[in-house]
Amino acid sequence: MIELRPFAKLGSADHGWLKARHHFSFGSHYDPGNLGHGSLRVWNDDEIAPNTGFPAHPHANMEIITYVREGAITHQDSLGNKGRTEAGDVQVMSAGSGVRHSEYNLEPTLTKIFQIWIEPTTDGGQPTWGAKPFPKSDRSGNFVTIASGFEGDRDALPIRADARVLATTLKAGDSAEYAPDKTRNLYLVPAAGVVEINGVRVNARDGVAIRDEAQLKITALEDSELVLVDAA
């Protein structure tokens, strides 16, 4: 099953400083038939105006991955963590038993992010935060695991979930393959470019929900940047 969810049909919100598209139910956008995809609960496509952002607010029992597409985001939390994550880099917050954090675009230009929330395997635990660069040149033509709940993925940022978040960049005409377990729930979004997945055309910022596929062949019709979640 490959279900295309065109960007133009996603739920949306415009707060002036924030323009968001919601791949699943979120906030005032409620769709009882689209509450997530397996343990993947949120995939927001956010554009944050310069010198604005999300003031301090609480989270608990959620793994929150921020993939920066353009610009940079500055994080600060109640644990004392503070960091700036720029385009090409990734940050992860395990909210655990509870944490407050803020996320601001302190840059002079627009910041664009994917915000991805995945349910943890167990509730509670000490909250954590981390960030790491993943140079696009290192993931050219291959999926690189950028966040993972599996011990073997030692180069990835750790999350407390039965899930992986992967990314790749493809030049026009190049292909990448991915062989998931057929019982897994996959969700893929091109941050940029146009691809075909097993013959289905997917434009930039469209979502694709995938189940019961033994093999994925992803061919770039344009230079493309992709993010993929493989979740229980």
| Domains and their CATH numbers in the chain | 2-231 (2.60.120.10)
Give mean pLDDT in consecutive 10-residue pieces for the chain, a chain of 232 residues.
97 97 94 95 98 98 98 98 95 98 98 98 98 88 95 96 97 96 96 98 98 96 98 98
Q: Quick one: pLDDT at residue 14?
A: 97
Q: Rounded CA gap, 49 and 142, in Å? A: 32
CA-closest candidate to residue 23, choices 215, 177, 185: 185
Sign of CA dihedral 213, 217, 222, 225: positive
3-class state of residue 10 by DSSP: coil
**Bridge partners of 44?**
22, 115
Angle at 91 between CA 85 and CA 97, to 5 degrees: 135
Q: Rounded CA gap, 156 and 9, in Å? A: 32
Would you say 115 and 191 are in contact if contact means Cβ atoms under 8 Å apart? no
Q: Quick one: pLDDT at residue 88?
A: 86
Q: Quick one: pLDDT at residue 77?
A: 98
CA-closest candidate to residue 81, choices 124, 117, 44, 126: 126
Q: Quick one: pLDDT at residue 135?
A: 86
Q: Rounded CA gap, 63 and 77, in Å? A: 15
3-class state of residue 136 by DSSP: helix
Would you say 211 and 186 are in contact if contact means Cβ atoms under 8 Å apart? yes
For residue 88, the 8-state DSSP code is T
